[in-house]
Chains A and B, each alone.
Chain A
């Protein structure tokens, strides 16, 4: 086993174990902390995929923004943490079965193929290429603008929804 494979297993286990923690944790606050750990593990995988920008963006967007928003929401709705209620609904076994079947099918499909290893080197300036593609009218300029509009709409919408009248 090479160093890279060991690191993959480490980060993969962190991500997957933390993800399991998210869905089984008894308290929602703990689930949120597990979620942050899962994000961190995924960031490590991005480093292994030689996409450092996405690893940093993962920390920045998911841990710094989304994680904090989720914890804020948990604190704002904490009245329900005191009352006792089952944390899963009646069809949890069905959900688990469905997830297991989906995993089995996907894993089976993937293992049918011969193993593929990366054949090309990542260009030194891959980040520049991404940036240029995002503002290139032939590339992703329109989706990029739509994404910005989406973010503005989400900002306005979120404020409009929670504003106290």
Chain B
């Protein structure tokens, strides 16, 4: 029981003692254990994604009244669970078509880099208390994630431009316009969280959530969620691909496993965003009884990620697609101003709490005050939107009346 309660750390310690017993020095053993840990952390999203794709197809099919992957034709495991493996094998054995006129180095590098960028994020996601259950508790934690996801945008341009195809180029332009645009509200939402937590480190942000930030700052969480859905290309914002308009976006010219890598990266980004959301707003590994059994922390964080992934699927499956101008207008005219106002309000209120309670406010008082401030922001936003709606309605009515009058005068 004791071994089980802190499973992962104990396995690490056991491995280290095993290596030292086999004649390795302390330093080398620590290095090998670290390397194994890195491989585990890096392959975690890859393994999860294999089953996630299956789950996604199954859930989507059920929601749309289909069966989804199953074993009725050829055997693919119970409930078709091996379907993804079959797809992967198919993609790997397909001919690797290289269209004429591509720029070979960027063209071949892009699929590798896109997967690389979605794997490195996992280095700073905490899976439990302490320093052992996180790849590296960097002091810049969340900024590291932002830096890599922002640098990864270049890959889309590389893929789109080097494919020598105008659909791919237009797709890359659109992708970058969308992703850069939605990065701004995402960043502003994260900044609000960082201000309240007082640190960029992921473990510190989790530690600051005596009351989860979803309760304390629902508006911030909503902004982050919407922006992240756009970042990972979920359906209402799914314009990077837009099969009917752009054929397939920036990776139209890719075939075989290179296409598979873009597909994989998309799912991995969705899992990563679920992990980031659950760390920033749902308290990460925090939950009941984690003090007694640290392994529970890993389970809690996986459960929270699962909930977020299911939410992502729900949105992805049920909503139709926006038009590109609607989507950019939604970002620049609604989300960015709201995120800015929210950031100012959270910053001022957070500072105010420190001033009003020199002895230090309890976690619940702090969360309550922040919640009230957030609700005020939400109400004000709703008021502004409703006023705009009414004005538009009045204008429409007046315009219609004028039309009718004109007709009557004409008759």
* Chain A–chain B contact at Cβ < 8 A: yes
Interface residues of A (CB under 8 A from B): 29-30, 33, 36, 40, 52-53, 55-60, 63-65, 67-68, 71-72, 75, 124, 127
Select B143's contact among A30, A53, A71, A124, beta carbons within 8 Å: A53
- Cα-based distance from A72 to B161 in the complex (angstroms): 10
8 Å CB contact of A52 from B138, B161, B176, B180: B138
Contact of A64 among B138, B144, B153, B161 (CB under 8 A): B153
Determine if B140 and A56 form an interchain contact, defined as CB atoms under 8 angstroms apart: yes
State whether A56 and B154 are in contact (beta carbons under 8 Å apart), knowing that A68-B180, A75-B169 are contacts in the complex: no
Interface residues on B, range: 20 to 34
Known: A33-B106, A68-B176. A75 touches B151 (CB 8 A): no
Give the residue of A30, A64, A72 whose beta carbon is less than 8 angstroms from that of B150: A64
Given A29-B103, A33-B158, A60-B147: 16 more A-B contacts, CB < 8 Å: A29-B161, A40-B151, A52-B138, A53-B139, A56-B147, A57-B147, A58-B147, A59-B150, A60-B143, A60-B150, A63-B150, A64-B150, A64-B154, A68-B157, A72-B173, A75-B169
A64 touches B151 (CB 8 A): yes
For residue B144, which residues in chain A have a CB less than 8 angstroms away from its CB? 52, 56
Taking the complex as formed, is B14 at the interface, i.e. its CB lies under 8 A from any CB of chain A? no
Q: Tell me the minimal C-beta distance from A48 to chain B in angstroms.
A: 15
Which of chain A's residues have a CB closer than 8 A to the CB of B153? 64, 68
Query: Is there contact, CB below 8 Å, between B140 and A63?
Result: no
Q: A64-B151, A68-B180, A75-B169 are in contact. Are A127 and B140 (CB under 8 A)?
A: yes
Q: Are B150 and A75 in contact (CB under 8 A)?
A: no
A-facing residues in B141-159 (Cβ within 8 Å): 143-144, 146-148, 150-151, 153-154, 157-158
How near does chain A come to B106, taking the closest CB pair, in angstroms?
Answer: 6
By a beta-carbon cutoff of 8 Å, the part of chain B in contact with chain A is: 103, 106, 138-140, 143-144, 146-148, 150-151, 153-154, 157-158, 161, 169, 173, 176, 180, 200
6 residue pairs A–B, Cβ–Cβ below 8 Å: A29-B103, A40-B151, A52-B140, A64-B153, A127-B140, A127-B200
Contact of B154 with A67 in the complex, beta carbons under 8 Å = yes
Q: How far is the CB of A41 from chain B (nearest CB, A)?
A: 13
CA distance A52 to B176 in the complex (A): 26
Check B161–A60 contact: CB distance below 8 A: no
For the complex, give the distance between the alpha carbons of A122 and B144 in Å.
Answer: 20
Nearest-neighbour CB distance to chain B for A148, whole angstroms, equals 14
Q: Name B144's closest neighbour in chain A (CB-CB).
A: A56
Give A60 to B83 CA distance when docked, in angstroms: 38
CA distance A164 to B186 in the complex (A): 30
Residue numbers in A under 8 Å from B147 (CB-CB): 55-60, 64
- Please name the residue on chain B nearest to A40 by beta carbon: B151
Q: Which residue of B lies closest to A54 (CB)?
A: B140
Chain A contacts for B140, CB-based, 8 A? 52-53, 56, 127
- Given A33-B106, A59-B148, A71-B161, CB of A52 within 8 Å of CB of B139: yes
Q: How far is the CB of B162 from chain A (nearest CB, A)?
A: 8
A56 to B173 CA separation, bound complex (whole angstroms) = 24
Q: Is the CB of A71 within 8 A of B150?
A: no
Are A63 and B173 in contact (CB-based, < 8 A)? no
Q: Which residue of A lies closest to B172 (CB)?
A: A75
CA distance A58 to B276 in the complex (A): 22
In the complex, what residues of B have CB within 8 A of residue A40's CB?
151
Contact B138 A65 (CB under 8 A): no
Q: What are the residues of chain A within 8 A of B143 when measuring CB–CB?
A: 53, 56-57, 60
Q: Is the CB–CB distance between B154 and A71 below 8 Å?
A: yes
Complex-state Cα separation, A123 to B144, whole angstroms: 20
Chain A residues with Cβ under 8 A from B176's Cβ? 68, 72
B168 to chain A, nearest CB (A): 12
Which 9 residue pairs across A and B have the least CB separation, nearest first? A64-B150, A59-B147, A63-B151, A56-B147, A60-B147, A59-B151, A56-B143, A71-B157, A64-B151
